[in-house]
Amino acid sequence: MTATKRCIRAEDLYQIRYTSDPQLSPNGKSVAFVETMIDEQRQYRNHLVLQSLDSKDLTSLTVGAVRDTFPRWSPDGATISFVSNRSGTPQIWLIDAKGGEARQLTRCKTGVSNPIWSPDGKHIVFSSMLSPEDSFSDVEGESKKEVQKVIVVNRMKYKSDDHGYIYDKSKQIAIVNVESGEMRAISEGPYNHTVGAWSPDGEWLAITANRAENPDKQHSIDVYLVPFSGGEWKKVTKSKGTFFFPTWSPDGKKLALIGSESDTHLHAAQKRVWVYNLENDEQTCITAEWDVQVGDSTIGDVRSPGHPNPGAVWREDGKGMYFIASERGNSGIYHTTLDGQITQIVGGSRNVYGFSLHEKAQKLIMVVSDTASPGDLVEVDLDTKEEQRLTDVNHDLFAELELPAVEEIEFEAEDGWKLHGWLMKPVGYQQGQKYPMVLQIHGGPHSMYGNTYFHEFQVLAAKGYAVLYTNPRGSFGYGERFVQACCGDYGGNDYLDLMSAVKYACNHFDFVDETRLGVTGGSYGGLMTNWIVGQSNQFKAAVTDRSICNWLSFYGVSDIGYYFTAEEIMANPFNNPEKMWHHSPLRLAANIETPLLIMHGEQDHRCPIEQAEQLYIALRYHDKAPVSFIRFPGASHELSRSGDPQQRVLRLEYTADWFESYLLTAEKASV
């Protein structure tokens, strides 16, 4: 380590900033984007920033203790709409593109999301979560009824890790007049609807929705065309699979969709680009022969969830589209023609997680992260493919830090499957010395580790650990067969893949001390951590985070449990409880001798805290391994990514302290 630099610390999270959601102006001369940071009160703040592409000057459009997101230009480029919580709940606000005071447009009691301008700039479509007794005209801050003494639940999907207890609420869509503020609902019923895009002539809205007879049991998501002036909806897709992010061709005769027709795989289906032709009602998958996941599947811990996906962005001549895809730990930007000829536009060892295109100006603005950068804007000249970095929001902080080296690895599983991952060296690495190693296991399981910034890995490397992270079967980025290979086989070949990674690292990196190994992961990664320490004593310490230990109880308590288990475990408690118990790490609790730290959020609806409670009590009962249980009040499943900043830092400190007790302390005592 150089004398002028220091190791990164968990609390450096409070200083890290990142950019997102770039939006090029209609004239292509400037870009609006969101900059996210944590303030002195340890609260998230999002501000809108405007950058000139000629002068490169930056202008802060919004400041203060606010969360301003989703900037969108009016068609004439004079106004920018955005979503802000400055009035208490997220509402649509408008601001002059030259700056000034923002004007509040909506005052919906339940807040709004995803506002999109009409082509003539006179209206904005948006969505909101409503109960049957609510309306879009209900004003924020006004309550119609007293606090309920009882709540009657009638739906299976009555809670959500994103929204908490939703009971009978559903996402509805409305249109607001920009001048008068007058609103008109365009959807209703016990169905969730998501804003898509306006047709070029402004006469139709493309939206997505699950309007099945029983949306709790039928999970297809269809695309609908809704006439702006009212009237009958047109259903585009066939209630088979899931489709998202509809975008219109410039002539309004076609729709591009991202999705899959798979009925058996909701989570593990590889997404592709489709085109629906309005003139002949034909739907075609134009990337059918390309075995690559469309969209960004990279997982990180310094980016807000739900980053807007631009979908497939059409060329002006309507002969092709640009889109993001994920492959082998990288996500880049690709172009496809209508006959499926695919070309990579932006590649490299990095994570592109958003972009905006202005074809006339031949400019593309993307947001990019890599292993040493949380996220900045980059301008791409589409003619020359030359790139220019526009922002460097962490320059001052990262100039102080010594960051670890990262090496990409390739190895084979026990059955010969090709596997891929990374080994992050400890900061201050010196040749000839031995270092403890921590295996990190991602969640999902259908996500992807990649060439992106991961604060947790950086903190562990700064503490003196090698960090091994890999994509076992079940991960996106390696083809559809690979991503679906763990379904019905949790704890089988995916477990062997992880152990093969450890074996490879121990055999090929002489600085790895195979007598001092740790393992950790969250969600599915927590499940596999539990499974590993129930199968093996190879690891000297483990940290399980937001985990699953019992599929039988998970079925009825998770917000996705009853249908997730059907796809992922291929069983339910009624047709094959033995299989569900077989894949449950709780079954192995009596075998666990590895010191285990259990951490869990108390408001986690995805993997509810009863999973952690069961595991903790079982380990205490068997009294074979040191175990500690850390509960985070108010925390959801997003604890480690977008949860309370102070809880995120505490979680990192507890993790590092646990590993230090079992992987570093013994070494220090023997010196």
Q: What pLDDT digit, counting tens, does each position of 187-246 carry? A: 999 999 999 999 999 999 999 999 999 999 999 999 999 999 999 999 999 999 999 999
Query: With contact defined as beta carbons under 8 Å apart, do 385 and 364 qualify?
Result: no
The predicted structure's pLDDT at residue 307: 73
- What pLDDT digit, counting tens, does each position of 68-120 carry? 999 999 999 999 999 999 999 999 999 999 999 999 999 999 999 999 999 99
- 337-363 in b/e form (b: 16+ CB < 10 A) is ebeeebeebbeeebbbbbbbbbbeeeb
**What is the pLDDT, as a whole number, of residue 142?**
72
Please give the pLDDT value at position 263: 83
Q: What is the mean pLDDT of the chain?
A: 95
637 is catalytic: yes
Give the burial string for 111-139 (b: 16+ CB within 10 Å, else e).
Answer: bbbbbbbbeebebbbbbbbbeeebebebe
Q: In a 10 Å sphere around its CB, with 0-12 CB exposed, 13-18 middle and 19+ buried, how is residue 107 labelled?
A: buried
pLDDT at 668 over 90: no
Residues 173-184: pLDDT tens digits?
A: 999 999 999 999
Q: Does residue 669 register a pLDDT over 60?
A: no
Catalytic pick among 128, 170, 637, 640: 637
Structure tokens given for 3 = 């004398």
- What global pTM score does this model have? 0.96
Classified as helix, coil or strand, 615 is: helix
Q: How far is the C-alpha of 212 from the C-alpha of 422, rounded, in Å?
A: 43
pLDDT average, residue stretch 256-285? 94
Q: Is 307 a catalytic residue?
A: no
What are the chain's domains? 398-549+584-670 (3.40.50.1820)
| E strand map for 548-637 | 596-601, 627-632
Tens of pLDDT, residues 134-189: 999 889 877 656 678 899 999 999 999 999 999 999 999 999 999 999 999 999 99
* Residue entry with tokens 């979560």: 129
From the list 523, 558, 584, 640, the catalytic residue is 523
Element (H, E) at 116: strand 113-117
Q: pLDDT by residue (tens digit) across 289-342?
A: 999 999 999 999 997 666 788 999 999 999 999 999 999 999 999 999 999 999
Quote the CA–CA distance of 264 and 241 in Å, as a whole number.
8
* Residue that is written with structure tokens 């449950």 in the block: 584
In this structure, the strands spanning 466-470 and 435-441 are: parallel
Helix H or strand E encompassing 605: none
Residue 521 has pLDDT above 90, yes or no: yes
